[in-house]
Amino acid sequence: MQIIELFQLNPGIFYTFVILVGLSVGSFLNVVIYRFPLMLENDWKSQCRELLEIKDPGTDSVITLSKPASTCPQCGHKIRAWENIPLLSYILLRGKCSNCQAHISIQYPLIELLTGALSLAVALKFGVSWQTLFALILTWSLVAMSVIDIHKQILPDDITLPVLWLGLLISIFNIYIDPASSIIGAITGYMILWSVYQLFKLITGKEGMGYGDFKLLALFGAWFGWTFIPLIIILSSASGAIIGITMMMFNKHERSTPIPFGPYLAIAGWVAMMWGEQIIHWYLG
């Protein structure tokens, strides 16, 4: 309680704390984004071998979020603590490995900066409250899922479903909405995209999106209710169309290459969380 009172009396300390936590979480999300798909791939291989009754050759390295220790992919140099400080280490190292001088991907500081900035925006919106805590958890999850979807075109159930269940759980305490709205929102979100998927497949014989997209929209329905679903669909479709057309205009994306829809849903859901009520009232007005 003393910490909460300190934050309430000193907003500057609260916002600074949120930024630092956001940057640190962003550093951890870089690990999740890189390692989680590898962990899923190893798990899928293990399941396939078990199903086909194939002996495990023992060639797959054991990967978790904590093991093995982070190293340079070029020279194998073990990343030391001072080389892993969010943003600062990248600047001090000038974007290069301290051992072999290989370039470090700009994605790492960008994810840290993005997570810190979004965390601050959430804190400014909701203040010192339970809404801020859960909005931060949702925000961090969306960053991880979006980047994984961009790279691998998958939205991992191991991230999506726990966050969906969390949305249903906190509705009991009316953090954002009541339980009835949460349950109806989750069902509505899933069924709308599932219906679009089935209709598109019936007409074209192709799959227009993945099941992860259904679950992600169901997640937003569970957190913010069914009334936000149309807004999220409109915002995600508009952002996807604008970004997709822009990428094709500048030859950054081939027409035949599928574009993951998850990041656009994530952007739309986050915008709806922050300013959804204002947007709806503005539109209705």
**DSSP-derived 3-state class of residue 215:** helix
Q: Crossing angle of helices 11-52/130-152, nearest 10°? A: 40
pLDDT at 14: 94
Per-residue confidence band for 254, with pLDDT thresholds at 50, 70 and 90 = low
What lies within 8 Å, CB to CB, of 15 at 6+ separation is 120, 123, 124
Structural domain ending residue among the three candidates 88, 103, 127? 127
pLDDT at 278: 92
Reference 144, options 26, 274, 277, 268; nearest CA is: 26
**DSSP-derived 3-state class of residue 71:** strand
- Do 73 and 169 share a structural domain? no
Is the per-residue pLDDT at 100 higher than 90? no
Per-residue confidence band for 72, with pLDDT thresholds at 50, 70 and 90 = confident
- Do 140 and 74 share a structural domain? no
- Do 104 and 121 share a structural domain? yes
Per the CB < 8 A criterion, the answer to whether 82 and 107 are in contact is no
Token output for 128: 């010192």
- Do 134 and 92 share a structural domain? no
Dist CA 36 CA 29 (whole Å): 10
Query: What residues does 29 pair with on adjacent strands?
Result: none
Q: What's the whole-number average pLDDT of the chain?
A: 89
Dist CA 136 CA 123 (whole Å): 8
- Do 213 and 267 share a structural domain? yes
pLDDT at 251: 65
Per-residue confidence band for 259, with pLDDT thresholds at 50, 70 and 90 = confident
Structural domain ending residue among the three candidates 127, 143, 168? 127
Q: Which tops the pLDDT comparison, 148 or 48?
A: 148
Is the per-residue pLDDT at 253 higher than 60? no
Per-residue confidence band for 66, with pLDDT thresholds at 50, 70 and 90 = confident
**DSSP-derived 3-state class of residue 96:** strand
| Number of domains present in the structure of the chain | 2
- Do 81 and 120 share a structural domain? yes
Is the per-residue pLDDT at 25 higher than 60? yes
- Do 233 and 190 share a structural domain? yes
Token output for 186: 């989750």
Token output for 149: 């979807």
Residue with tokens 């986050």: 270
- Do 180 and 104 share a structural domain? no
Is the per-residue pLDDT at 1 higher than 70? no
- Do 179 and 75 share a structural domain? no
Structural domain ending residue among the three candidates 100, 127, 154? 127
What lies within 8 Å, CB to CB, of 224 at 6+ separation is 176, 177, 185, 269, 272, 273, 276
pLDDT at 65: 81
Is the per-residue pLDDT at 276 higher than 80? yes
- DSSP 8-state code for residue 67: S
Dist CA 209 CA 52 (whole Å): 29
Per the CB < 8 A criterion, the answer to whether 221 and 229 are in contact is yes
Neighbours of 263 (CB within 10 A): 23
pLDDT digits (tens, 9 = 90+) for 53-64: 787 776 667 788
pLDDT digits (tens, 9 = 90+) for 128-159: 999 999 999 999 999 999 999 999 999 999 99
Query: Which of 189-193, 194-198, 221-225, 267-271 bottoms out in mean pLDDT, i.e. has the lowest?
Result: 194-198
Is the per-residue pLDDT at 78 higher than 90? no
Per-residue confidence band for 51, with pLDDT thresholds at 50, 70 and 90 = confident
Dist CA 95 CA 53 (whole Å): 46
Alpha helices in the chain (DSSP H): 2-9, 11-52, 88-92, 107-126, 130-152, 157-170, 179-204, 211-224, 229-249, 262-284
- Write out the residue range of the structural domain in which residue 18 sits: 1-127
CA dihedral sign of residues 79, 82, 88, 91: negative
Phi first, then psi: give them for residue 96, nearest 5 degrees. -135, 155
Reference 45, options 34, 35, 58, 32; nearest CA is: 58
- Do 280 and 218 share a structural domain? yes
- Do 139 and 240 share a structural domain? yes
- Do 67 and 202 share a structural domain? no
What lies within 8 Å, CB to CB, of 28 at 6+ separation is none
